A and B are shown apart, each in its own frame.
Chain A
């Protein structure tokens, strides 16, 4: 009933394009500061390329194995459990920038919460698929889905990393939605989540500052609003066509984290409106092909897996870009494939590998 298809080249192309583009932008954004801090302008570029190689191999392997293998409980629990334990282990490390998100492995800073995203997608897809198939009622999957996603959220909140925690909850929501959980239950859950989000947002003083500065970035242009303002200046200064590749001036210490969370601002400054829209178009293609694969998946697990992985990539991108453009308060979510960060890149490619895997399988009966 299912048939094996070739790799979805339409999906593969923007993934590769974004990854290579990311390397170029990371070099552009980091060369000066890298040269000043480490003596070499290529430090971040080389690390990103290494991660890309690892991510590519991982994605290739993941896409080759029949995805149904990943539905097996030992795979699912090992992945989730392993990533979860590593996140707890990260909490025991000495803080970097007052956050305990990373585990140093030799020269590499390993961020397990990124892998937990993929593991969570895997776990939720298998859990929801099983519960739904067993009972025929997707509502039954709510409880385990909330349990695992909130457990993951709790541990990363301790790092603290609200953005990633919200990402986990978002993934659970998307998968439950795709599975067909009644809309009424979403409204109830959503209503219950609002006070939680507000409490979480204002519990930590830095988050409160972020939210307030988002509401009025000009109020404190040198303090809390500085990052948002510098980001807007970078994007706005790019104009229609940008200052040219490598010609960003905002990367020269005006804009903090120009090669990580705010790389899209440098894209906007150097490549203008055209380049920025190009990046968004790539993610649009990923969304289109990802959800298309989910729709056509031969089984529930495949559909949920593809949908979850696609949501993981696309929603992160949407949030990241929204933060850069000051539509949303600062979160600490990277732009998948483009932002500097080995863990994020490898995890993103793992997710991509899962989508590519599912996309090779298609139900025979097609809708008219």
Chain B
């Protein structure tokens, strides 16, 4: 017989079976039904995502010279629990990291876990420190921004914070483009947060390098910082497309060590500050009056006794001189306040406001830089009775230096408002290139007006207040400006802003330059004395760097010696033989449409007789020949003679002469004549 009853055992067995099935059901619930939930939860607590900073893209100048690059640097941190002897460690660390020992010791003992000791130290120091093998001291590779040109264009390029974020200038404006995408290392970690390995590849991702910027800046153009002023701005731009060749703001700073400079020095005054332009604004008033046919070049405008009464206010000339009656040219050359006010009053508030606004006054240029000031230009509804007069001479209106330079560019390029631009190309790490196309220039003045004003500005430099802006070998156009700084309770005596805006060469402007000097120290403060010489220095240097030849030098000897044809800007009328497509026979009214007579003559030099210099050059170039000119006008003789057989690359000497009955056209000749007229002294009052 059995002593243990079947029923009792069976009951126990059933009870335990039920229990087991509950357990297995629970296992199925946890591991199968909710497995992914718990797996995700486990990963959350077991994995630690460590961000890997991407390599920031570089910034280059127009010649491909680096302005900002990222280099790898080591950052040093400590896990304080692991540091066995904090005092000894602090001593060694202080020696290598150039920090006070007490400060390091304080950091090592203040917390238990992770603490930064030094961010982005240079390789040498990191290697030396690593060799010390201090327990608990670790290294991580980060990238460090480096600016090889130091403070050059620092206010434009900007700088980068410790966390690799662009904090100013291009670095800020294009931050999302050049920063790249951070990668991730997924490290496995235990409950004590110490990592012990790397997770499977799919969960991590490598950092993506940022794109590089190719700017229009030319780092060869240097600015000497003027210590004799509170601040200064210089801008050089290409009037044809608004490309910024140089932009300097003083005081500047070293972006490699931006923390040591006050925030004030990091501002880009060329775009962030608005100044009352003073007399340079007369360009605007004059242009608009000409555009609206409210003044002619030969009209005499009475400047009276050197004062003008507007409402209850009497405005006088800047130097209290009396000029008598002046032409518009005279007004520009003498920078006559009374004269320009008379012109400006003819415009009236409506046309002045509208026209100036069209020229970009009071409107941001939308350059690719952060923090641009739009300037201050009130609507006519809010003008006082005095405003029309004041604005005509550049007061009661504020513009940024860049806005003023852009107005200069509009005169230089024949009446079109360009959009200033720094970055021309964005090159992505995969080789993709985004070419930045600036918005097309907008016509704001007729070509005739622009040309006339250009000649007025040539007069200012040749005979007027801007004589010190002259550059030997070039015809320079420009306007001076001197503004008293406005402060509490009116204009402040002794605090001036001197400026000069101009361009060169005048007949085919390659560079528009603006120089603005705030609060120059010393007796002189006129724009013509302070800013104009700086303009001359900077622009002449830039012309050399951009290889713009002097206008007088019609036949450069070294023309064929140069191989790098693309980077050279040849003076008008001179085209090297190897350049084929730059000249079109139909350009300009001076060029009569002439069929190239013997372009396809394979058996000798074609005849250039009767062609203009340009056309002759183009013809010879097509046949693989260079040209040398004598005289001016049209080709009357050539050597070797037409039909002669010469080797490719030979030089053909062309004699030019003015034909007796050259067709009269509003070209260079007539402009020259008008310039002569303008040069004649205005009649005495």
Per-position binary interface string of chain B over residues 18-59, scored 1 when its CB falls under 8 Å from any chain A CB and 0 otherwise = 011011101110111011111101100110000000000000
Are B9 and A284 in touch, CB under 8 angstroms? no
A79 within 8 A of B: no
Residue positions of B touching A, CB distance < 8 A: 1-6, 8-9, 11-13, 16, 19-20, 22-24, 26-28, 30-32, 34-39, 41-42, 45-46, 188, 190-192, 196
| Distance from B303 Cβ to chain A, minimum over Cβ atoms (Å) | 87
Give bound CA distance, A287 to B12, whole Å.
Answer: 10
Given contacts A268-B27, A283-B20, A365-B1, 12 further A-B contacts (CB under 8 A): A178-B9, A178-B12, A236-B37, A236-B38, A237-B42, A238-B31, A240-B32, A253-B190, A268-B30, A272-B31, A295-B4, A322-B22
Are A254 and B45 in touch, CB under 8 angstroms? yes
Are A253 and B191 in touch, CB under 8 angstroms? yes
| Distance from B21 Cβ to chain A, minimum over Cβ atoms (Å) | 10
Are B23 and A280 in touch, CB under 8 angstroms? yes
Give bound CA distance, A304 to B12, whole Å.
Answer: 13
Residues in A with CB closer than 8 Å to B27 are 235, 268, 273, 276-277, 280, 325
Question: Per a CB cutoff under 8 Å, which of B1, B11, B188 touches A249?
Answer: B188
Main secondary structure of the interface of A (DSSP, over half): helix
Are B191 and A235 in touch, CB under 8 angstroms? no
3 residue pairs, one from A and one from B, having the closest CB atoms: A236-B38, A252-B190, A253-B191
Question: Per a CB cutoff under 8 Å, which of A174, A252, A325 touches B12?
Answer: A174
Question: Per a CB cutoff under 8 Å, which of A254, A296, A299, A327 touches B190?
Answer: A254
Give bound CA distance, A46 to B597, whole Å.
Answer: 106
* Most B Cβ at <10 Å: residue of A32, A302, A303: A303
Give bound CA distance, A297 to B4, whole Å.
Answer: 8
Are B28 and A273 in touch, CB under 8 angstroms? yes
Are B3 and A300 in touch, CB under 8 angstroms? yes
A177 within 8 A of B: yes
For window 251-272 of chain A, which residues contact chain B by CB distance below 8 Å? Answer: 252-254, 268, 272
| Distance from A326 Cβ to chain B, minimum over Cβ atoms (Å) | 8
| Contacts A249-B46, A291-B13 given; does A180 touch B34 at CB 8 Å | no
A321 within 8 A of B: yes
> Which chain A residue lies CB-closest to B196?
A252
Are B2 and A367 in touch, CB under 8 angstroms? yes
A233 within 8 A of B: yes
A239 within 8 A of B: yes
Residue positions of A touching B, CB distance < 8 A: 32, 174, 177-178, 180, 232-240, 249-250, 252-254, 268, 272-273, 276-277, 280, 283-284, 287-288, 291, 294-297, 299-300, 302-304, 307, 311, 314-315, 318, 321-322, 325, 327, 363, 365, 367
| Distance from B193 Cβ to chain A, minimum over Cβ atoms (Å) | 10
| Distance from A324 Cβ to chain B, minimum over Cβ atoms (Å) | 9
> Which chain A residue lies CB-closest to B197?
A249
| Distance from B144 Cβ to chain A, minimum over Cβ atoms (Å) | 35
Residues in B with CB closer than 8 Å to A365 are 1
| Contacts A238-B31, A249-B42, A254-B46 given; does A177 touch B23 at CB 8 Å | no
The contact sample of 14 A-B pairs, CB cut-off 8 A, is A180-B8, A233-B42, A234-B42, A235-B30, A235-B31, A236-B34, A239-B36, A240-B31, A252-B190, A277-B24, A280-B23, A284-B20, A302-B3, A327-B22
* Most A Cβ at <10 Å: residue of B11, B38, B192: B38
Give bound CA distance, A287 to B13, whole Å.
Answer: 8
| Distance from A362 Cβ to chain B, minimum over Cβ atoms (Å) | 10
> Which chain A residue lies CB-closest to B35?
A239
> Which chain B residue lies CB-closest to A132?
B3
| Distance from A236 Cβ to chain B, minimum over Cβ atoms (Å) | 2
Are A239 and B39 in touch, CB under 8 angstroms? yes
Give bound CA distance, A284 to B38, whole Å.
Answer: 28
Residues in B with CB closer than 8 Å to A314 are 16
Give bound CA distance, A341 to B39, whole Å.
Answer: 30
Residues in B with CB closer than 8 Å to A284 are 20
Are B31 and A273 in touch, CB under 8 angstroms? yes
Are B23 and A321 in touch, CB under 8 angstroms? yes
Are B31 and A239 in touch, CB under 8 angstroms? yes
Are A178 and B4 in touch, CB under 8 angstroms? yes
Give bound CA distance, A272 to B31, whole Å.
Answer: 7
Are A291 and B2 in touch, CB under 8 angstroms? no
| Distance from A357 Cβ to chain B, minimum over Cβ atoms (Å) | 16
Residues in B with CB closer than 8 Å to A250 are 42, 46
Residues in A with CB closer than 8 Å to B26 are 325, 327
> Which chain B residue lies CB-closest to A241?
B31
Question: Per a CB cutoff under 8 Å, which of A235, A240, A291, A299 touches B3?
Answer: A299
Residues in B with CB closer than 8 Å to A288 are 13
Give bound CA distance, A237 to B35, whole Å.
Answer: 6
Give bound CA distance, A327 to B2, whole Å.
Answer: 36
Residues in B with CB closer than 8 Å to A239 are 31-32, 35-36, 39
Are A294 and B190 in touch, CB under 8 angstroms? no
Are A236 and B13 in touch, CB under 8 angstroms? no
> Which chain A residue lies CB-closest to B190?
A252
Give bound CA distance, A177 to B11, whole Å.
Answer: 10
| Contacts A273-B32, A299-B3 given; does A237 touch B41 at CB 8 Å | yes
Are A233 and B190 in touch, CB under 8 angstroms? no
> Which chain B residue lies CB-closest to A181?
B8
Give bound CA distance, A268 to B39, whole Å.
Answer: 12
Are A363 and B1 in touch, CB under 8 angstroms? yes
> Which chain A residue lies CB-closest to B5?
A180
Are B20 and A280 in touch, CB under 8 angstroms? yes
> Which chain A residue lies CB-closest to B193?
A253
Residues in A with CB closer than 8 Å to B20 are 280, 283-284, 318
* Most B Cβ at <10 Å: residue of A237, A238, A240, A296: A237
Residues in A with CB closer than 8 Å to B34 are 236
Residues in B with CB closer than 8 Å to A315 are 16
Question: Per a CB cutoff under 8 Å, which of A233, A254, A299 touches B38?
Answer: A233
* Most A Cβ at <10 Å: residue of B8, B30, B32, B34: B30
Give bound CA distance, A174 to B8, whole Å.
Answer: 10
| Contacts A180-B5, A295-B2 given; does A322 touch B28 at CB 8 Å | no
> Which chain A residue lies CB-closest to B6?
A295
| Distance from A88 Cβ to chain B, minimum over Cβ atoms (Å) | 32
Residues in B with CB closer than 8 Å to A325 are 23, 26-27, 30
Residues in B with CB closer than 8 Å to A232 are 30, 38
Are A240 and B8 in touch, CB under 8 angstroms? no
Residues in B with CB closer than 8 Å to A236 are 30-31, 34-35, 37-39, 41-42
Are B9 and A291 in touch, CB under 8 angstroms? yes
Give bound CA distance, A315 to B16, whole Å.
Answer: 8
Give bound CA distance, A321 to B16, whole Å.
Answer: 13
> Which chain A residue lies CB-closest to B34?
A236
Are A318 and B42 in touch, CB under 8 angstroms? no
| Distance from B46 Cβ to chain A, minimum over Cβ atoms (Å) | 5
Residues in A with CB closer than 8 Å to B45 are 233, 254
Residues in B with CB closer than 8 Å to A303 are 2-4
Give bound CA distance, A302 to B20, whole Å.
Answer: 26
| Contacts A236-B30, A276-B31 given; does A294 touch B9 at CB 8 Å | yes
| Distance from A297 Cβ to chain B, minimum over Cβ atoms (Å) | 6
Are B31 and A304 in touch, CB under 8 angstroms? no
Give bound CA distance, A276 to B27, whole Å.
Answer: 8
| Distance from A190 Cβ to chain B, minimum over Cβ atoms (Å) | 13
| Contacts A299-B3, A327-B22 given; does A254 touch B191 at CB 8 Å | yes
| Distance from B382 Cβ to chain A, minimum over Cβ atoms (Å) | 64
| Distance from A356 Cβ to chain B, minimum over Cβ atoms (Å) | 17
